[in-house]
Structure 1
Amino acid sequence: MARQDRALRTRRAIFEGAATVFDERGYESTTISEILERAEVTRGAFYFHFPSKEDLARHVLAAAVTTDGVPENRLKLQQLVDTLLLLAHRMPHEPMLRAALRMSVDLESQRLFGTRWPDWTSLLADLLREACERGEIYQHVDEDETARLLVCSWTGVRVVCEGLPEEYDLAQEVAKLLHLILPAIAVPLVLAKLEVSAERAAELYAGLSLAGTEPAGARRDDEEPSERPHPNG
């Protein structure tokens, strides 16, 4: 069990170290040597867990599609709101999420890996369909189209705010965006019940931190030797 714990810690260190460098330098400019230095692991340990830098990047992108910390809610529209707010609050705190976004908007990375925008769109569309079945949104709302526009708008807020000279609270900006969009899709009775604020995002994040959730791409139960030769040296 001790070796499994060590393996999990090593994998997570590699995962988080790579995400930090991807976020700072971009995928193309990042070398495996930089990842090893940041993660403080050996080359053998790296190749035990990930066959290549490309494979590691795909894990980072996959792990960014997450609803960790979002509680089940009888109002599916609230669950959708919580997903977008919590992601906004997590973004400044978690290099993995920032790295995934940077790779997703970089044209060269898109060519290599594609993006996870379709996954996010599908996730939000499913919540909107549930909301429709429960009478929470107007019948004329197109769930797939609305989900796509939400993903586009959320991403645009993040990218634009990052490039502005002033500092912005991303969760607060996303809350403003939702206040503009929700009246167009939510029936009045449900709209009045929704909690949409940066404060709610912070509360959700506090719960996530207490739970100690780690990125999905960092989880693996394999054992790992301290050194393992690799054919590429």
Structure 2
Amino acid sequence: MVRQERGTRSRRSILEAAAQVFDERGYEGASTTDILARTGLTRGALYHHFPSKEAIAIALVEAQTEALVAPPHSMKLQAAIDLTMEFARRLRCDPVLRASVRLTVEQTSFTYPKRTPYQWSYEAISGLLTEAEAQGEILPGTDIDELTKFIVGAFTGVQLMSQVYTGRDDLLERVTSMWRLLLPGFATPAMISRLRTAPAEES
């Protein structure tokens, strides 16, 4: 058990160090030597968990799935809003998620399918919208597939614009604006007045 816990800590240490390096330098500019310098681990320990730089990058990209778990809420549109808010909040402070997103959008020699993280996002949002439709939260006749693709695309664009203009300092405000402008196009009038589009107060 102790050895397993030590291995888990070592793996997390490698991912966090790699995330910092990838976030700062990108995939091409990062090296396993740079990563090791920030972990204090041996090269053997690194290769025990990850046989290559690409394997580390794949693990970082797949960490996005942790940020795509919707918080529980009886109103599924609120759950969708909260999911994007929490993703945005983590993107500002979590180097692992930041590196994961950078690896997704950069055009490099990293060969992981670029569309996969967007498919995860699609599935998370589509599932919530389908439930919202079943609960009468969405206007009749709304094309859920089309709406999901638009929301995922808009959220991706908001992230990129915020990064370019303010280094993500205004990301939560931009996500708030996105939902405030989009909701009247597909949410029922009764729902709009009940939905919170501003970030939840942190306790």
Same fold, TM exceeding 0.5? yes
Shift of 1:194: 0.9
AA in 1 matched with 2:125 = L
| Inter-partner Cα distance in structure 2 for 1:96 and 1:156 | 20
Shift of 1:3: 1.7
Deviations 1:188-219 (A, max 9, x none): 11111111112x1x53xx5xxxxxxxxxxxxx
Deviations 1:93-152 (A, max 9, x none): 01111111111111225x611221111112101111111111111122211221111111
The runs of 5 or more residues in structure 2 that have no matched partner are none
Q: Say if 2:69 and 2:124, in contact at 8 Å, map to a contact too.
A: no
| Inter-partner Cα distance in structure 2 for 1:192 and 1:20 | 41
SS in 2 for 1:127: helix
Shift of 1:72: 1.1
Corresponding position of 2:159: 158
Corresponding position of 1:127: 128
1:167–1:145 Cα change, 3 Å: closer
Corresponding position of 2:174: 173
Corresponding position of 1:224: none
AA in 2 matched with 1:126 = G
1:48 paired to 2:48: yes
What TM-score do the two structures reach when normalised by structure 1?
0.80
The higher-RCO structure (CA 8 Å, 6+ apart) is 1
- How do 1:25-64 residues align onto structure 2 when only pairs under 5 Å count? 25-64=25-64
| Inter-partner Cα distance in structure 1 for 2:167 and 2:99 | 22
Q: Say if 2:70 and 2:124, in contact at 8 Å, map to a contact too.
A: no
- How do 1:88-99 residues align onto structure 2 when only pairs under 5 Å count? 88-99=88-99
AA in 2 matched with 1:181 = L
| Inter-partner Cα distance in structure 1 for 2:97 and 2:74 | 27
- How do 1:1-233 residues align onto structure 2 when only pairs under 5 Å count? 1-67=1-67, 70-108=70-108, 112-115=111-114, 116-164=117-165, 168-198=169-199, 200=200, 202-203=201-202
| Inter-partner Cα distance in structure 2 for 1:69 and 1:101 | 16
Give the total of aligned pairs.
201
AA in 2 matched with 1:65 = T
Shift of 1:78: 0.7
Corresponding position of 1:230: none
| Inter-partner Cα distance in structure 2 for 1:4 and 1:23 | 28
| Inter-partner Cα distance in structure 2 for 1:13 and 1:148 | 35
Deviations 1:4-57 (A, max 9, x none): 221111110001111111111001111011111122211111111112211111
What TM-score do the two structures reach when normalised by structure 2?
0.92
| Runs ≥4 residues deviating over 2 A | 65-71, 165-169
Q: Say if 2:21 and 2:30, in contact at 8 Å, map to a contact too.
A: yes
Q: Say if 1:61 and 1:100, in contact at 8 Å, map to a contact too.
A: yes
Shift of 1:70: 4.2
SS in 1 for 2:141: coil
| Inter-partner Cα distance in structure 1 for 2:163 and 2:72 | 31
Higher helix share: 2
| Inter-partner Cα distance in structure 2 for 1:155 and 1:75 | 23
